[in-house]
């Protein structure tokens, strides 16, 4: 469905995406990465809004930059907010669907159906200037799939939605995936993507760091050391215990020796052993930060793997 071959995009001297090579079969994918990681640039390359500086992009076998008729098969919900204050959602979505070459009546019918599907039935005739951020998000989503594309690309579609709205949108997208059509969902929030897409692409610094289902990525991370930061009253003693127990890969002293940063491949064993040491040596722990499963940690670990440091 999508093929990128050594694709690099430069904005002057700034790298948007950096030497990405990937091949995606039809299906649903989550594009996950922190803000500024290159997600939007990658989506713009896929939709033909940007031309790669180096490399080749193919979508459904064609170059999206050269063949803009390809856009009939693609629906895009960009991250940027939209506001035509004096235009209703129905008028706007009909207008955009009509640009796909459909008649006015057919475009209006499809726009109504799409807006109903995202829960805008009662408000679709109101001017967009009166909409909340969540209503605008729903309208944006409706315009992306109203013309019935085979590939739907969504960039941060859950921004501004309340929990109920998020749940409803997730259901809409699940239905889309179940219908057998393709989806690329870009977000910086992992669990949002996980709820819809069975497969991830993790991107940071313009590079795809990992791809595959969550289990594969967890397996990839299994050998990556966790870091635990502990501030206590006797840091040197605790460091000695870590070394003697063989649980640590490395130990660093921080904050003028008041804090230790322990790198370990056995975090569970460390958390089991730590209470015993606290009791035995009468240690007072003021602060402990464990490596968690946050996106930041995930990306830090992947970057280390990518750089060959882990």
Partner 1 sequence: MWHGALVVFRFELRRTMTLNRVAIWLLLVLFPVFIVSVMKYYEPEIEGEIPRDAFNSRQVRVQRGLAWGEEEHDGDGDESGPAPHPRGSAAEAEPNPMDPIWGFVFFGLIPEVITLFGLLLWVPPLVHAELEGRTWIYLAVRPRGRVSVLLGKYLTAITWTALAGWASTTACVLIAQPGCALRLWGTMVALVTLACLAYGAIYSLIGVWLHRRAMAIAVSYTLIFEFLVSFIPAVINKFTVQYRLRNLLFTWMDWWDLVPIEASTLFLGSERAWVHVLILCGIVVAVLGVAAQVIQRREYATIAEA
Q: Is 83 in the site for partner 1 (CB under 8 A)?
A: yes
Residue labelled with tokens 């606290």: 278
Cα gap 221→214, rounded to integer Å: 11
31-70 residues near partner 1, rule: CB under 8 A: 40-41, 47-51, 68-70
Q: C-beta of 55: minimal distance to partner 1 in Å? A: 15
Q: C-beta of 98: minimal distance to partner 1 in Å? A: 5
The tokens describing 64, both together, are 């999206």
| x/- track of binding to partner 1 for residues 126-155 (CB under 8 A) | -----------------x------------
DSSP string, 71-104: GGGEEEE-SS----TTSBHHHHHHHHHHTTT--H
Which of 6, 21, 26, 84 is the binder for partner 1 (CB under 8 A)?
84
Q: Is 11 in the site for partner 1 (CB under 8 A)?
A: yes
Cα gap 135→165, rounded to integer Å: 9
Residue 14: alpha-carbon gap to chain centroid: 21
Residue labelled with tokens 């670990």: 301
Residue labelled with tokens 């050269």: 66
Q: Which is nearer to partner 1, 134 or 225 (CB)?
A: 134
Residue 79: alpha-carbon gap to chain centroid: 12
Q: C-beta of 310: minimal distance to partner 1 in Å? A: 32
Which of 4, 74, 224, 295 is the binder for partner 1 (CB under 8 A)?
74
Cα gap 56→189, rounded to integer Å: 29
Q: C-beta of 305: minimal distance to partner 1 in Å? A: 29
Residues that bind partner 1 (CB under 8 A): 11, 40-41, 47-51, 68-72, 74, 76, 78, 80-84, 86-87, 91, 95-96, 98-101, 143
């Amino acid at each position: 469905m999508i093929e990128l071959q050594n694709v690099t995009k430069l904005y002057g001297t700034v790298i948007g995406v950096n030497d990405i090579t990937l091949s995606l079969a039809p299906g649903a994918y989550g594009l996950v990465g922190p803000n500024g990681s290159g997600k939007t640039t990658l989506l713009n390359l896929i939709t033909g809004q940007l031309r790669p500086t180096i490399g080749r992009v193919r979508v459904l076998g064609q170059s999206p930059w050269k063949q803009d008729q390809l856009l009939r098969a693609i629906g895009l919900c960009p991250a940027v907010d939209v506001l035509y204050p004096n235009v209703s959602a129905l008028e706007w979505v009909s207008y955009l669907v009509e640009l796909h070459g459909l008649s006015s009546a057919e475009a209006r019918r499809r726009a109504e159906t799409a807006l109903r599907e995202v829960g805008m039935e009662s408000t679709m005739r109101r001017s967009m200037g009166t909409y909340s951020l969540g209503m605008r998000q729903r309208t944006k989503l409706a315009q992306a799939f109203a013309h019935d594309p085979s590939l739907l690309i969504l960039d941060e579609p859950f921004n501004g939605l309340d929990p109920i709205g998020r749940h409803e949108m997730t259901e809409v997208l699940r239905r889309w995936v179940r219908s057998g059509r393709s989806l690329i969902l870009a977000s910086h929030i992992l669990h949002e993507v996980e709820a819809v897409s069975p497969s991830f692409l993790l991107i940071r610094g313009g590079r795809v760091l990992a791809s595959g289902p969550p289990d594969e990525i967890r397996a990839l991370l299994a050998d990556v050391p966790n870091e635990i930061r502990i501030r206590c009253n006797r840091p040197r003693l605790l460091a000695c215990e870590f070394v003697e127990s063989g649980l640590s890969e490395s130990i660093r002293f921080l904050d003028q020796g008041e804090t230790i940063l322990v790198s370990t491949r056995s975090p569970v064993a460390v958390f089991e052993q730590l209470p015993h040491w606290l009791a035995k040596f009468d240690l007072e722990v003021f602060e402990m930060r464990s490596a968690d499963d946050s996106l930041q940690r995930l990306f830090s670990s992947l970057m280390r793997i990518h750089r060959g440091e882990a």
